[in-house]
Structure 1
């Protein structure tokens, strides 16, 4: 799966409010996926930092695409657990999220992600998730 193919899948299958984050798929492969979003006024909260909701959505979406990269095909998955830890305020130009699969079985996938503020290259948040494969 290429980033371009994955981007088309995102655009065709995800809710409008997720697409409104302007998520870009920067890399995808068997070891994971890297997605990023621009930092804009639309996702800022008081103080001009990225809202936690936007970061959690980015992480969840990145881990779904890490699963797609792992399986080399887009499979609908259902988030059953999402845990996000916020480390510092997100600011700068973009937030990049690198997600990878920890373990994948026939029915359950475990994933983790790290979000980095760019261009400072500072960690902003981490996330873990569990997905059921219907």
Structure 2
């Protein structure tokens, strides 16, 4: 599985409002995925701070792709819960999300994500989620 293949799958299968964040897959493999979004006026609020909704969406999307990396194929999964912890204001040129699968069972997949502002690579948020494999 390549980042280009994952990018094409993301663009074909995710909602237009998710794609409006301009997510870019920069890495994918067994158990994990890395995505980045640019910091633009569309996702920033007062002071250039990236809104929490954009960060939570990035984390969820990255963890879905981490599931695909773990399974070795693109399969639909449903988010059953998502917890996002905002550590500090996200500012900069972009936000990177590194997601990994903690455990993949037959029906449930558990994942976590770390979000950092770029170029400083400063941690700004963390998330965890559970996904159901229909």
- Please say whether Structure 1 and Structure 2 have the same fold, judged by a TM-score greater than 0.5: yes
Secondary structure of residue in 2 paired with 1:41:
coil
Query: Which residue is equivalent to 2:94?
Result: 94
1:38 matches 2:7: no
CA shift, 1:6, in A, is 0.3
The gaps in structure 2 that reach 5 residues or longer are: none
**RMSD between superposed Cα atoms in Å:** 0.5
CA shift, 1:31, in A, is 2.8
1:116 matches 2:116: yes
The CA distance in 1 between the partners of 2:130 and 2:31, in whole Å, is 17
Query: Which residue is equivalent to 1:60?
Result: 60
The CA distance in 1 between the partners of 2:80 and 2:47, in whole Å, is 32
Moved more, 44-53 or 103-112: 44-53
Secondary structure of residue in 1 paired with 2:9:
helix
The CA distance in 2 between the partners of 1:132 and 1:46, in whole Å, is 36
Across the two proteins, how many residue pairs are aligned to each other? 134
Query: Which residue is equivalent to 2:132?
Result: 132
Question: Quick check: 2:31–2:67 contact (8 Å CA) kept in 1?
Answer: no
CA shift, 1:46, in A, is 2.2
Give me the TM-score of the superposition, normalised by structure 1: 0.99
Deviations for 1:11-58, whole angstroms, at most 9, x for unmatched residues?
Answer: 000000000000000000003000000000000122220000000000
1:70 matches 2:78: no
The CA distance in 1 between the partners of 2:107 and 2:46, in whole Å, is 40
Secondary structure of residue in 1 paired with 2:42:
helix
The gaps in structure 1 that reach 5 residues or longer are: none
The CA distance in 2 between the partners of 1:6 and 1:77, in whole Å, is 15
The CA distance in 2 between the partners of 1:89 and 1:40, in whole Å, is 15
The CA distance in 2 between the partners of 1:78 and 1:27, in whole Å, is 22
